[in-house]
Every structure is written in C-alpha cells, then in structure tokens.
Amino acid sequence: MMANTTWRRAPRLWKLGVLATIFNAALAVSVLAVAQETDHPVKLVAFGDSLTAGYLLKPQDAFPAQLSAALTAKGYNVELSNAGVSGDTTAAGLERFEWAVPAGTDAVILELGANDALRGQPPAETRANLEAIILKLKERNIDVLLTGMKAPKNWGEDYARTFDAIYADLAEKHGLLLYPFFLDGIALDAALNLDDGLHPNGKGVSVIVTRILPKVEELLQRVAARRSLKQSKS
C-alpha cells in the first residue's frame, strides 16, 4: 500500500516541482529585466584604494572602466563611479565615506584593506573600520559586494590568519555578497602585474573583471529585487 501511495503522489510532486522551477525562472527573468532596464540605471560605486583607482594605468584600463564596459556588453544599464584613492587604508576610506558614496547610490563594491595589511595595521582596527563603513551603507539601504584581501606572510601566520578571516566574517554577519580575494588569479603573476609586483596591469585588471563579474551581476540582481519590492508597495 505504501508503495502504491508513493507512486500516486509522484505525478503531483513532479507537477509541483515543475511549477516551482517555472516560478523561480520567471522571478529570475523579472529581476534581471529590472537590473537591465534602460530608464533607471543602477548607480554603482567602486569604493577602494589603488587597486580600484587604477594605479599607473590609463583611465580606460582601470577596474571601474573595464567593469563598466563588461556590464554594458551584457546589456546592463549601470553608472559606475571610480571612488578609488591610491594609498587609502580602511581608516582613510571611513573618513571620506560621505563624499565617496554620494546620495542616490544603489550599490557599492567595497575594496579596502590591502594597505592596512602592507603596513601591518592591527586586524582589529581594519575590521572595525570596514564594519563602520558597512553599517553606514546598510543605513542608506545600499547593497554591498565586499571584496577580500590577503595579508602578506612577512607579518607571521597568526597575523595573516586573523586578517584574512575579516572579510568572510563580516560578509556572513551582515548578509553581504563576498568576493573572497580581489587579486584572485593574478597575484604573484609577473605577466599580469606592474613591475612593483603589487598592482595589476591592464591585462591583470581584465582577469579580475572576468572573475568578479558573476558576483557583480548578483549585486545588480539584489538592487533589482529591492527596486521591485519598493514598486510593489507603492
């Protein structure tokens, strides 16, 4: 009897599964459509240090410019601002937050911490500064993609372990999207970096953009979902 009951229920469960799949697909298309709509561009700010600013690169080779081109090629309508300042620590980023992230910003790619690690700043200070920036962004209902950084090994294993954990911990605590390591795929590769071995060249930035693009699309979808919810309530 049990086997027969299970067999009878199978078509019903199958239909429910199909309906759920159709619903989720429709929702995804709806969200994507809002993210790609032409009348209301998503105002996105790349907020970071020299890795964002494009140290020693032509403006069109910098991370924000290459990312903007990649998003445009995929049909997204995004106004992407370069709020990168070379040499910035998380403390400096916190100090300039108000003018770096202007009114009307929908989403932020937060890339800070590399200079803290290079200078051996206490990880607790880096964490506190990043969290203060994140809280300011959340207060303004700005969606965030947090990009991680890894500490150099010259400060010791304990320092590196504590510093490296900051980003995943904050992303989990505050429900943020996380790209674990901004320099993933290019770190220590001489062909993709400038002569200093620390900053990506144009080709290196292209690799970063290719790798981070799916996460940026998730960020835009969060903006779209929030807009859709706001429209449904109005």
Q: How far apart are CA 118 and CA 123, in angstroms?
A: 11
Instruction: Read off the pLDDT band of 102 (50, 70, 90).
Output: very high
Residue 115 domain boundaries: 36-233
Q: How far apart are CA 106 and CA 223, in angstroms?
A: 7
Q: Looking at the domain assignment, is residue 12 inside a domain?
A: no
Q: How far apart are CA 192 and CA 199, in angstroms?
A: 9
- Specify the pLDDT at position 20: 46
User: Which range, of 25-29, 62-66, 97-101, 190-194, averages the lowest pLDDT?
Assistant: 25-29
Is residue 6's pLDDT more than 80?
no
Q: How far apart are CA 9 and CA 17, in angstroms?
A: 12
For residues 15 and 118, the model is more confident at 118
**pTM to 2 decimal places:** 0.85
- Specify the pLDDT at position 32: 54
Q: How far apart are CA 44 and CA 220, in angstroms?
A: 9
**Six token digits for residue 179:** 């790209």
CATH number of the domain within which 78 lies: 3.40.50.1110
Q: Is 50 a catalytic residue?
A: yes
Catalytic residue among 39, 196, 232, 234: 196
Mean pLDDT of 164-189: 98
Q: Is 196 a catalytic residue?
A: yes
- Number of domains the chain is built from: 1
Catalytic residue among 49, 106, 116, 199: 199
Is residue 183's pLDDT more than 70?
yes
Q: Looking at the domain assignment, is residue 185 inside a domain?
A: yes
Q: Looking at the domain assignment, is residue 19 inside a domain?
A: no
**Six token digits for residue 81:** 């601002």
For the purposes of burial, counting CB atoms within 10 Å of the CB of 90, is it exposed (0-12), middle (13-18) or buried (19 or more)? buried
Q: Looking at the domain assignment, is residue 132 inside a domain?
A: yes
Instruction: Read off the pLDDT band of 10 (50, 70, 90).
Output: very low
Q: Looking at the domain assignment, is residue 13 inside a domain?
A: no
Q: Looking at the domain assignment, is residue 9 inside a domain?
A: no
Catalytic residue among 49, 50, 116, 206: 50
Q: Looking at the domain assignment, is residue 80 inside a domain?
A: yes
Percentage of the chain modeled with pLDDT above 90:
80
Q: Looking at the domain assignment, is residue 85 inside a domain?
A: yes
